[in-house]
A = this chain, B = another copy of it.
């Protein structure tokens, strides 16, 4: 273990792996697989530096978890070495159920299965392998641990997951406004009645964190060209899936073939499917799509050529839904322009909505701690962030279609 117990991270510098169990988890093939799955999918087509992986993020979040726990301990919160190890393991594995291009996959090949479900299944598999060493980590992950702040550090509106991904995505995309005061927020963390909270004087950093996250959503995660690229990927995978189900030969590595040739949903999440799922990563999808550029099916080949060579759909965002007649009209134009049937043309038109809440009051709330051990919701504590303002859910509708049509 000595050989690799320090990792170089471009965001935080050196990260020390604290522990034999953590080291073992990181070296497990399930986790190593995350080195081949990009955190932001196709975003690199718009922000070319966004190549970091779910591995990088998981390690970074674990690092922040370690810092948060040390700070809470210094302030008098009791956290045992076992609890610390469990919290580190829980955050390390929190995203282990992600597949390649997660969102696109869920809209094409794998239906109604959230990555959280798969994460939990994999944690349980790992736990068996490790003779129960992950029991406490799993109880934290499932929010069944008595110290509920440990779960809140893993998953809440101010968890180390968000703290890491905002910093990291900002770093790799070059969108400097995503920078948040991670160090200050961590230093201000405290516990109020078993709930994670931030000290009063950290309130501005929390406000800034909320705004930074909002910015990253609209500027990066929901950038309209990213949405367009993802729509193309969904269409490609759906088409390949349909062809494979119809018995047409579609080149792919065996594990990807499994998902193309079968209808997988939550009812089929057996060991075999999980094993297959663990075998696919970004490289399989990219490698296959490149082959599909020569496929006899025109829909599959033209969409693949477009994505591989970055001739992406054009996308528009709107505050109101696009009229069905407008979408139908677009189907016709595409069909006519490309010589396709209406059914085929539908693969060339993406329509849907994206949605983001800056802040959601309620169970996961961000708590600000005041003198006397009183905790208040950030929207109540803030001079300026009124609840009805900041908790407004923003929904945007998108429409994507081939340029030139």
Q: Which residues of A contact B (CB under 8 A)?
A: 6-11, 13-14, 27, 29, 32, 35-36, 44-45, 47-49, 51-53, 55-56, 59, 171-177, 179-181, 183-184, 187, 201, 204-205, 207-208, 211-212, 214-215, 218-219, 251, 253-255, 279, 281-284, 286-288, 290-291, 308-310, 319, 358, 383-386, 389-390, 392, 394
Pick the contact of A283: B211, B290, B386 (CB < 8 A).
B290
Q: A48-B56, A214-B384, A290-B283 are in contact. Are A181 and B175 (CB under 8 A)?
A: yes
Q: Which residue of B lies closest to A309 (CB)?
A: B29
Closest beta carbon of chain B to A285's beta carbon, Å:
8
Q: Which residue of B lies closest to A293 (CB)?
A: B279
Pick the contact of A47: B8, B212, B251 (CB < 8 A).
B8
Pick the contact of A394: B48, B177, B205, B384 (CB < 8 A).
B384
A52 to B358, CA, bound (A): 31
Residues of B within 8 A of A36 (CB): 286
Q: A283-B290, A284-B287 are in contact. Are A14 and B184 (CB under 8 A)?
A: yes
Residues of B within 8 A of A390 (CB): 384
A174 touches B8 (CB 8 A): yes
A10 touches B384 (CB 8 A): no
Report, nearest first, the 4 A-B pairs whose CB atoms are least far apart.
Answer: A10-B174, A283-B286, A177-B181, A10-B49
Residues of B within 8 A of A394 (CB): 383-384
Q: Which residue of B lies closest to A181 (CB)?
A: B177
Q: Which residue of B lies closest to A13 (CB)?
A: B183
B208 touches A177 (CB 8 A): yes
Most B CB within 10 A of own CB, among A47, A48, A172, A284: A48
Pick the contact of A208: B10, B45, B212, B319 (CB < 8 A).
B212
Closest beta carbon of chain B to A404's beta carbon, Å:
13
Q: Which residue of B lies closest to A358 (CB)?
A: B384
How many chain copies? 4
Residues of B within 8 A of A389 (CB): 384-386, 389
Pick the contact of A177: B29, B204, B281, B282 (CB < 8 A).
B204
Q: A171-B10, A172-B10 are in contact. Are A59 and B51 (CB under 8 A)?
A: no
Residues of B within 8 A of A180 (CB): 177
Closest beta carbon of chain B to A403's beta carbon, Å:
10
B10 touches A308 (CB 8 A): no
A291 touches B8 (CB 8 A): no
Closest beta carbon of chain B to A211's beta carbon, Å:
5
The 6 sampled A-B contact pairs (Cβ below 8 Å) are A9-B48, A11-B49, A14-B184, A175-B181, A208-B208, A283-B284
Residues of B within 8 A of A251 (CB): 253-254
Q: A205-B177, A283-B290 are in contact. Are A8 and B392 (CB under 8 A)?
A: no
Q: Which residue of B lies closest to A216 (CB)?
A: B204
Residues of B within 8 A of A51 (CB): 51-53, 56
Q: Which residue of B lies closest to A45 (CB)?
A: B35
